């Protein structure tokens, strides 16, 4: 069967209409409104691109959580990496820095990686950390650093690459880890009393952590969850299931994305991540310090992270966001981009004020690109 | 330090629009020869001549690689200018061809490009009656600039769409842009993606002969920035709303698959052998049939209509029945990275 055939029912307009009818029916007997949070930029893309919010009844609210790893990467880390580049140059060493296309443009009070490049530093955009690895092999006399943001989906290849580098003894390959844990991040939001009635779990993150990686959220906080794929009907199905589960008080994790996600997840990836990384407290830009949500290399591998090789002084009290930017509230699911006074006026993808407008996975960027109508 | 020209300034999106309006149109003074002039930013200019109109247009072609799946810069240069004339409602009469060639280009490459231009011009047919050749030191391979004149009985502008009209496209959308990008990114599929580059005068002519020029209210070739840009321009210049249905927009499955892999919408990339037509409602079926009788229009489809609400905007009804705006791309779409 071709991919087309597998995917077809998940895009079928008639099936979608039936799902929407059922959602409307279930919503009639809801006590007030339900706030469903998703935590993945690609889900936001599906929702906005296919106009899902325009089809939902008023009391079914789908909000976007902190699903954009690039958006929540701390200002301090971006600045620290820039300072490391400068310090290395002062010491007569040239670092090649790689990162992803959307990370490249994220603004900070001290500029972006793109600004650093325009000053003549060697900053390159890569598609994956594997490109960095190849670059390190091609440039044995230079240190090649990958500034590495991302949730579990991106942490897995980083761990795999670290494994290869350790096995080969490749000495000029380094990372700067700003990896984060998704379910643990959401737990902090719940503890901080963000209102989340139900969760659409990120499909790709789930391929790594499995169904079991999310279960503690239902057990501890009574929140129903559905792991969903990325086609419009995947999301509509998840919404329908979540409304029903919420009404029945059925707090567990349902796997709608069975074509990709297993109960136990990718155990090989989990082992590698656990071998090389330890869990630490970490800052989420615009959200604050989230205990137990960051990943740093373990003791014996520490010198593979460039931040442990160069000590730099990051200025204190760097503001996370420009005045008035609602990125923090957007990431908490408390506001939609259209609530922000800057959105589409002073803040556009060409002149972004906040990180949510820069990243391809940022809610503001997606809203702007597709023009939201609901 | 003043502002510098960036690639986005030439990418056909909003940034380019600003460059045209704020720099080029503001600086030039004499911009009209009595008909549609530079200020209209249409596909070409018109000059009244007796009871007809001369249509005049020019197009510079820079493409990498020079030879791509489905075509080459020669075919592109002839088609691009012929199509600009065609969508103004003009029968192509003659072309001019200026080539700027980088030192070191293989003579054989130049010959292949010229043969391709020759074949394409015979396909229309339209003679290439004058030209100019320059060689420069810069390693540009080659740029081909073609100008063309045509004769129109009744020029068709982008501003003529009326509420109630029907919108058609002459075939599958996104072929050229997605084929080139996949080629550049090295993405391979079972079926090779091919550019649709072709002159489409015969498609336009077939429709006009069937329904009459007076019922053809607006036309555009959805080149740079694609279908979304073409529709938005028509909506804006005609001051109408446009509603299109995603389920009715023809897209080849392999183009859809590649565009999803690249993270680029097929609506936002160039087509080089397609026309978007806005016709009077009562003639829509006849127009569709006339298009489908031509070889290049056999996959033509009715994709939407002109509405009264949301003037200046394009509304997309998604495959699942949701609604959103179809915004023009900001600049050249680049493949999604992360």
Residue A73 has a pLDDT of 95
Residue B264 has a pLDDT of 87
What tens digit of pLDDT does each residue of A215-241 get? 999 999 999 999 999 999 999 999 999
Rounded to an integer, the average pLDDT of B64-70 is 93
Q: How many CA atoms lie within 13 A of A86 on its CB side?
A: 15
Whole-number CA gyration radius for chain A: 21
Cα separation, A8 vs A16, in Å, equals 12
DSSP class of residue A212? T
Phi and psi, residue B161, nearest 5°: -65, 140
What tens digit of pLDDT does each residue of A143-185 get? 999 999 999 999 999 999 999 999 999 999 999 999 999 999 9
A349/B contact by beta carbon, under 8 A? yes
CA separation (Å) from A241 to A16, A167, A186, A235, A252? 14, 46, 20, 10, 11
DSSP for B57-106 reads EEEEE--SSSEETTEEHHHHHHHHHHHHHHTTT-EEEEEEEEEEEETT--
Rounded to an integer, the average pLDDT of A48-55 is 93
Cis omega (within 30 of 0) for bond into B125: yes
Does B324 sit within 8 Å of A373, measured CB to CB?
yes
Does A102 sit within 8 Å of B337, measured CB to CB?
yes
Helices (H) and strands (E) in chain A, counts: 15, 11
Contacts of A154 in chain B (CB under 8 A): 338
Q: Has residue B94 got a pLDDT over 70?
A: yes
Give the helix/strand (H/E) hosting A285: none
Across chain A, mean pLDDT equals 94
- The region that residue A169 occupies, defined by phi over 0 for left and psi between -120 and 50 for alpha, beta otherwise, is left
Rounded to an integer, the average pLDDT of B251-267 is 89
- B330 to chain A, closest Cα gap in Å: 8
Across chain B, mean pLDDT equals 93
Question: What is the β-pairing status of strands A123-125 and A95-99?
Answer: parallel
Cα separation, A229 vs A202, in Å, equals 8
Q: Has residue A322 got a pLDDT over 90?
A: no
Q: Sorting pLDDT into bands at 50, 70 and 90, what band is B334?
A: low
Q: Sorting pLDDT into bands at 50, 70 and 90, what band is B331?
A: low
Q: Sorting pLDDT into bands at 50, 70 and 90, what band is B337?
A: very low
Q: Sorting pLDDT into bands at 50, 70 and 90, what band is B21?
A: very high
Q: Has residue A96 got a pLDDT over 70?
A: yes
Lowest mean pLDDT among A1-15, B42-56, B163-177: A1-15
Does B322 sit within 8 Å of A52, measured CB to CB?
yes
Strand order, beta sheet including A173-179:
A123-125, A95-99, A143-150, A173-179
Cα separation, A54 vs A48, in Å, equals 9
Residue A3 has a pLDDT of 73
Closest-CA residue of chain A to B255: A4
Interface test with A, best of B181, B261, B320 (most A CBs within 10 A): B320
Q: Has residue A62 got a pLDDT over 50?
A: yes
Facing A101 at nearest CB: one of B320, B324, B338: B338
Q: Sorting pLDDT into bands at 50, 70 and 90, what band is A74?
A: very high
Contacts of B327 in chain A (CB under 8 A): 368-371
Does A11 sit within 8 Å of B320, measured CB to CB?
yes
Q: Sorting pLDDT into bands at 50, 70 and 90, what band is A9?
A: very high
A127/B contact by beta carbon, under 8 A? yes
Does B323 sit within 8 Å of A373, measured CB to CB?
yes
Helices (H) and strands (E) in chain B, counts: 9, 14
User: Is the separation of the CB atoms in A34 and A243 below 8 Å?
Assistant: yes
Q: Sorting pLDDT into bands at 50, 70 and 90, what band is B336?
A: very low
Residue A353 has a pLDDT of 86
Residue A374 has a pLDDT of 55
Contacts of B321 in chain A (CB under 8 A): 13, 16-17, 20, 51, 55
Q: Has residue B54 got a pLDDT over 60?
A: yes
Facing B321 at nearest CB: one of A16, A127, A368: A16
- B316 to chain A, closest Cα gap in Å: 9
Give long-range contacts, CB 8 A cutoff, 24+ apart: B246-250. B246/B316, B246/B317, B246/B318, B246/B319, B247/A13, B247/B317, B247/B319, B248/B301, B248/B302, B248/B303, B248/B304, B249/B169, B249/B173, B249/B301, B249/B303, B250/B169, B250/B171, B250/B172, B250/B173, B250/B299, B250/B300, B250/B301
Cα separation, B195 vs B174, in Å, equals 9
Q: Sorting pLDDT into bands at 50, 70 and 90, what band is B329?
A: confident
Residue A1 has a pLDDT of 67
A56/B contact by beta carbon, under 8 A? no
Rounded to an integer, the average pLDDT of B156-175 is 97
Cα separation, A253 vs A224, in Å, equals 6
Q: Has residue A288 got a pLDDT over 50?
A: yes
Closest-CA residue of chain A to B333: A369
Cα separation, A199 vs A307, in Å, equals 35
Rounded to an integer, the average pLDDT of B247-271 is 91
A48/B contact by beta carbon, under 8 A? yes
Residue B277 has a pLDDT of 98
Q: Has residue B13 got a pLDDT over 80?
A: no
Contacts of A101 in chain B (CB under 8 A): 334, 336-338
Structure-token pair, residue A231: 């086609």
A89: exposed, middle or buried (Cβ count in 10 Å: 0-12, 13-18, 19+):
middle
Facing B315 at nearest CB: one of A48, A55, A373: A373
Structure-token pair, residue A49: 């691109």
Q: Has residue A337 got a pLDDT over 60?
A: yes
Q: Has residue A372 got a pLDDT over 50?
A: yes
DSSP for A1-54 reads --HHHHHHHHH-HHHHHHHHHHHHHHHHT-SS-EEEEE--HHHHHHHHHTTGGG
Residue A105 has a pLDDT of 85
Cα separation, B203 vs B275, in Å, equals 8
Facing A17 at nearest CB: one of B321, B336, B337: B321
Cα separation, A208 vs A259, in Å, equals 14
Q: Sorting pLDDT into bands at 50, 70 and 90, what band is B3?
A: confident
Would you say how long chain A is, in residues?
374
More confident residue, A345 or A275: A275
Residue A57 has a pLDDT of 96
User: Is the separation of the CB atoms in A252 and A224 below 8 Å?
Assistant: yes
Alpha helix stretches (DSSP H) within A169-264: 182-191, 203-209, 215-221, 232-248
Facing A370 at nearest CB: one of B319, B327, B338: B327
Cα separation, B203 vs B291, in Å, equals 6
Does B338 sit within 8 Å of A102, measured CB to CB?
yes
Q: Has residue A66 got a pLDDT over 80?
A: yes
How many contacts does A have with B, using Cβ atoms within 8 A?
90
Residue B105 has a pLDDT of 96
- The region that residue B97 occupies, defined by phi over 0 for left and psi between -120 and 50 for alpha, beta otherwise, is beta
Question: What is the β-pairing status of strands A225-227 and A198-201?
Answer: parallel
Does A70 sit within 8 Å of B315, measured CB to CB?
no
């Amino acid at each position: 069967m071709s991919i087309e055939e597998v995917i077809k029912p998940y895009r079928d307009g008639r099936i979608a209409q039936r799902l929407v009818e059922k959602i409307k029916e279930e919503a009639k007997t809801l006590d007030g409104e339900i706030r469903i949070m998703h935590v993945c930029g690609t889900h936001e893309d599906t929702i906005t691109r296919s106009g899902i919010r325009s089809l939902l009844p008023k009391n079914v609210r789908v909000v976007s959580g902190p699903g954009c790893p690039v958006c929540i990467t701390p200002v301090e880390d971006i600045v620290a990496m820039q300072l490391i580049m400068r310090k290395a140059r002062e010491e007569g060493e040239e670092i090649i820095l790689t990162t992803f296309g959307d990370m490249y443009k994220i603004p900070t009070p001290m500029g972006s990686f793109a600004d650093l490049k325009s000053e003549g530093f060697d900053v390159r955009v890569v598609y994956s950390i594997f490109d960095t690895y190849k670059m390190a092999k091609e440039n044995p006399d230079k240190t090649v650093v990958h500034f590495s943001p991302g949730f579990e989906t991106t942490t897995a290849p980083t761990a795999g690459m670290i494994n290869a580098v350790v096995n080969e003894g490749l000495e000029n390959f380094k990372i700067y880890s700003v990896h984060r844990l998704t379910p643990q991040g959401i737990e902090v939001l719940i503890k901080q009393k963000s209102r989340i009635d139900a969760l659409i779990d990120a499909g790709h993150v789930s391929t790594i952590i499995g169904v079991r990686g999310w279960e503690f959220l239902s057990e501890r906080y009574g929140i129903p969850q559905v792991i969903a794929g990325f086609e419009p009907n995947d999301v509509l199905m998840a919404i329908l299931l979540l409304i029903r589960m919420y009404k029945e008080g059925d707090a567990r994790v349902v796997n709608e994305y069975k074509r990709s996600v297993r109960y136990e997840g990718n155990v090989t990836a989990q082992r590698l991540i656990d071998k090389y990384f330890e869990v630490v407290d970490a800052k989420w830009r615009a959200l604050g310090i989230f205990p137990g949500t960051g990943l740093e290399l373990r003791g014996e591998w520490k010198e593979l992270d460039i931040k442990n090789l160069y000590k730099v002084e990051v200025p204190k009290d760097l503001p996370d966001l420009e005045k008035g930017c609602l990125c923090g509230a957007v990431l908490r699911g408390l506001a939609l981009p259209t609530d922000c006074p800057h959105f589409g006026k002073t803040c556009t993808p060409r002149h972004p004020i906040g990180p949510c407008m820069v990243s391809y996975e940022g809610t503001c960027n997606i809203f702007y690109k597709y023009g939201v109508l609901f | 330090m003043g502002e510098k020209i960036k690639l986005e300034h030439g990418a056909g999106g909003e940034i380019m629009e600003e460059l045209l309006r704020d720099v080029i149109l503001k600086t030039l003074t004499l911009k009209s020869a009595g008909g549609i002039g530079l200020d209209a930013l249409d596909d070409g200019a018109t000059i009244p001549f007796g009871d007809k109109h001369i249509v005049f247009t020019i197009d510079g072609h820079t493409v990498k690689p020079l030879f791509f799946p489905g075509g080459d810069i020669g075919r592109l240069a002839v088609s691009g200018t012929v199509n600009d004339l065609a969508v103004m409602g003009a029968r192509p009469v003659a072309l001019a061809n200026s080539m700027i060639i980088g030192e070191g280009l293989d003579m054989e490459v130049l010959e292949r490009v010229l043969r391709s231009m020759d074949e394409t011009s015979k396909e229309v047919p339209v003679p290439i009656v004058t030209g100019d050749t320059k060689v420069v030191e810069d390693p540009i391979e080659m740029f081909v600039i073609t100008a063309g004149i045509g004769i129109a009985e009744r020029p068709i502008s982008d501003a003529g769409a009326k509420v109630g009209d029907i919108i058609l496209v002459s075939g599958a959308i996104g072929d050229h842009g997605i084929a080139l990008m996949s080629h550049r990114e090295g993405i391979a599929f079972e079926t090779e993606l091919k550019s649709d580059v072709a002159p489409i005068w015969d498609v336009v002519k077939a429709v006009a002969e069937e329904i009459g020029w007076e019922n053809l209210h607006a036309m555009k070739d959805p080149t740079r920035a694609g279908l979304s840009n073409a529709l938005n321009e028509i909506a804006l210049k005609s001051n109408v709303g446009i509603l299109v249905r995603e389920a009715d927009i023809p897209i080849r499955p392999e183009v859809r698959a590649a565009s999803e892999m690249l993270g680029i919408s097929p609506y936002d990339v160039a087509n080089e052998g397609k026309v978007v037509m806005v016709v009077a409602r009562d003639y829509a079926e006849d127009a569709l049939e006339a298009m489908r009788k031509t070889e290049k229009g056999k996959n033509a489809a009715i994709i939407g209509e002109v509405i009264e609400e949301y003037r200046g905007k394009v509304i997309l009804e998604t495959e699942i029945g949701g609604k959103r705006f179809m915004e023009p791309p900001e600049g050249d779409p680049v493949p999604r990275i992360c």
